[in-house]
Amino acid sequence: MTRQALFLAFLLLSSAFAFRKGDQPEKIGAVTLLLGASLTVLVASPLGTRFQDVEAGILVIDISILGIFLWLSIQSTRFWPIWIAAILGAEVIVHVALAIAPEVVPRAYMHGLALWGWFAQLALVIATWRHRRRLKRLGADAPWKS
3-state secondary structure 20-56: HHCCHHHHHHHHHHHHHHHHHHHHCCCCCCCCCCCCH
What pLDDT was estimated at residue 8?
96
The burial class, CB within 10 Å (0-12 / 13-18 / 19+), for 110 is: middle
Q: Where are the domains of the chain?
A: 3-138
Per-residue pLDDT of the chain (146 residues; tens, 9 = 90+): 699 999 999 999 999 999 999 999 999 999 999 999 999 999 999 999 999 999 999 999 999 999 999 999 999 999 999 999 999 999 999 999 999 999 999 999 999 999 999 999 999 999 999 999 999 999 999 999 98
Residue among 136, 122, 135, 142 at smallest CA distance from 17 = 122
Per-residue confidence (pLDDT) for residue 76, from 0 to 100: 98
